[in-house]
Structure 1
């Protein structure tokens, strides 16, 4: 009987995980080569690895322009113009009368540069998670991207 209870609990947890549109296997493999950005651009990898808050999708924006959405163990590469980029993330609120908060990470990118941001959940009120974005080392970012799957970027 205990095994049945564990199986049901595991099924509920898996079904509660959020999903986002995924890029194909070729695009996933291309991004994991960490090729330099096109001439005159910079590359920004954004990824998510936290299981906490896995029922929520994080919507990302760069200077108020949509980048895409992340679920657990997903990542996005954005080739962008060099300069200052303010990355925000938001999570839909499931609790009445509450507003989800977005936290920003500001990254100054030079031409040809590749940088990594980890997007993580910041626990809020029940059913109202918030997200934060923070820069990580290239080694940590590459490892997380390699272990994840590429989500489709916003068009």
Structure 2
């Protein structure tokens, strides 16, 4: 019995100190952008989970956020996620499960160190919330694990559904309004000096009115599995107008518009409409999705309210 225990300890030590596990890694541009440590946009928060030690290089450790698979870490690697603000529980799975709950605020960066320890039959881990200075130094020693954006979208959809379920519905009777002319079909609000996209905006998806928030969110969530190029979160719904476009932007828009339309079609949305030189808005029922094409890939950023003409 003692010999078996010693053999297991020796085997664990060998696995911890030798070998090299691998996971898909993101490109240099995505890694460099994440390491700028800029504040998160669109009312979200940035989360870095890093593992900057050599120990345990032969072992991959899965990471879950609020029960959603966020990816696997290896030695000298980090996971970067953009999440809705609020309380999030992170779990590192190894011989043990290490859990850490972090209360995140919009526009802030949060750093979690995944410490690796020697176990009996397998490696163990422990999660630590560290300061920004410590976290940035640790992340700089690591490479970015590749993600497809599905974790962020699932978490954002869950947050939106939770918000919708907790929003009270008014039951106060209202006075009968005088007859008015029927409202025109909802349209995206366009600035007066906007140069229109060459692709007409589809109004059919908008005409099929959506009466609650979860439906467009669920549609976006289910389509996420078919969009491997997505790398950013769909944040909570925001109200916004389409930005003005200068004539100099027209050539760039024409080049990347088909890519943005491909993402919109995968999400079940209508024809995209330009919103600046590198962003587009696609109508999805009574909501729209903001699509960013700044990094050579087009990916959904967050949902927006569609404004009706009055």
Let me know the Cα RMSD of the aligned residues.
1.4
> What per-residue deviation string (whole Å, max 9, x for no partner) do you get for residues 42-69 of structure 1?
1111100122222111111101101111
CA shift, 1:122, in A, is 2.6
Q: Where does residue 121 of structure 1 map in the other structure?
A: 116
| Distance in 1, Cα, partners of 2:104 & 2:41 | 14
The within-5 A match list for 1:53-68 is 53-68=56-71
CA contact (8 A) 2:48 2:80 kept: yes
> What per-residue deviation string (whole Å, max 9, x for no partner) do you get for residues 75-109 of structure 1?
12110011111100113xxxxxxxx3211011000
Q: Does 1:134 align with 2:128?
A: yes
Q: Where does residue 4 of structure 1 map in the other structure?
A: none
| Distance in 2, Cα, partners of 1:112 & 1:74 | 24
Q: Where does residue 45 of structure 1 map in the other structure?
A: 48
CA shift, 1:153, in A, is 2.5
CA contact (8 A) 1:116 1:137 kept: yes
| Distance in 2, Cα, partners of 1:28 & 1:114 | 16
| Distance in 2, Cα, partners of 1:141 & 1:58 | 19
TM-score normalised to the size of structure 1?
A: 0.80
Q: Where does residue 75 of structure 1 map in the other structure?
A: 78
CA contact (8 A) 2:44 2:106 kept: yes
Match 1:110 to one of 97, 105, 112: 105
Q: Which has the higher strand share?
A: 1
Q: Where does residue 26 of structure 1 map in the other structure?
A: 29
Q: Where does residue 89 of structure 1 map in the other structure?
A: 92
CA contact (8 A) 2:115 2:126 kept: yes
| Distance in 1, Cα, partners of 2:56 & 2:79 | 19
CA contact (8 A) 1:69 1:153 kept: no
Q: Which has the higher helix share?
A: 2
CA contact (8 A) 2:52 2:139 kept: no
Aligned length: 133
CA contact (8 A) 2:97 2:125 kept: yes
Unaligned runs of 5+ in 2: 1-16, 151-310
Unaligned runs of 5+ in 1: 1-12, 92-99
TM-score normalised to the size of structure 2?
A: 0.41
Q: 4+ residue runs of structure 1 moved beyond 3 angstroms?
A: none
CA contact (8 A) 1:120 1:133 kept: yes
Q: Secondary structure at the match of 2:96?
A: coil
Determine which structure has greater relative contact order: mean sequence separation of CA pairs < 8 Å that are 6+ residues apart, divided by chain length. 1
Q: Which has the larger radius of gyration?
A: 2
| Distance in 1, Cα, partners of 2:69 & 2:77 | 16
